[in-house]
Amino acid sequence: MRADAQRNYDRIVEVAREVFREQGYDASLDEIAKRAGVGPGTLYRHFPARENLLDAVLKFWVDKVDVATEKALAHEGGDRAVLLNWFEEYVALISQHKGAPAKITSAIGNPDSPITTKCQVLTAANDRIIDRLRADGALRDEVDTIQVCRLVGGIATVADQGDLDADAVRPMLAVVADGLLR
């Protein structure tokens, strides 16, 4: 990639991260272009669809997922506490900005999505937690990773769109956890 192109690409992603956080995932792309000091044509050449921009914005976020997974695996307490703690982390991870939980969750299990690699990171993280709990014999047999991602993602989506706080979310996560544990 040419040096000026790289510069613009990086600048757009940086600005998009900021604007998505401020205004949510529905923010105007033309405004992002303007704030980044480029024309709309430049933005759309680098990111043909909004989701491609989201994918780029989530680049460093992958590391956060890994850190959170490690922390969850190292969590003190019983299986239920581990699972609940992870669910809260998971919700926080996919709720970085308004509209993100829905976008991410609906992309899970869809290999054609521009953010499919990010979804794989998430499902892999869930796999690790689930494997650990399964090794303890704590989970029901039919538990499936993608289903878990969707269940918790659904709660995150509802919380995002209905402006619910953590106290309203926790008991819902507990229901799902209890439905998964033996």
Partner DNA sequence: CCACAATACGGAGACACTCTCCGTTTAGCA
Partner DNA sequence: TGCTAAACGGAGAGTGTCTCCGTATTGTGG
Q: Which does residue 176 bind out of DNA, a copy of itself, none, counting CB within 5 to 8 angstroms by kind?
A: a copy of itself
Q: Which is nearer to a copy of itself, 8 or 157 (CB)?
A: 157
Minimal distance, residue 115 CB to DNA, in Å: 15
Dihedral (CA of 132, 134, 140, 142) sign: positive
The C-alpha angle with vertex 24 and arms to 29 and 100, in degrees rounded to 5, equals: 105
CB of 42 to DNA, least distance (A): 4
37 binding DNA? (CB under 7 A): yes
Both tokens assigned to 153: 């993602």
Size of the site for DNA (CB under 7 A): 24
Q: Which is nearer to a copy of itself, 68 or 84 (CB)?
A: 84
Helix, strand, coil percent values for the chain (each to nearest 5) = 75, 0, 25
Give the interface segment with DNA, choosing from 38-46, 54-62, 67-75, 86-94 (CB under 7 A): 38-46
Backbone CA torsion sign across 149, 150, 154, 160: positive
Beta bridge partners of 139: 181
- For the bound state, the minimum distance from the C-beta of residue 30 to DNA, rounded and expressed in Å, comes to 4
Residue in the structure block whose two tokens are 């000091």: 37
**Tokens 């106290």 correspond to what residue?**
167
The entry of a copy of itself, DNA, none near residue 179 (CB within 5 to 8 angstroms by kind) is a copy of itself
Q: Which residues bind DNA (CB under 7 A)?
A: 1-5, 7-9, 28-31, 37-42, 44-46, 48-50
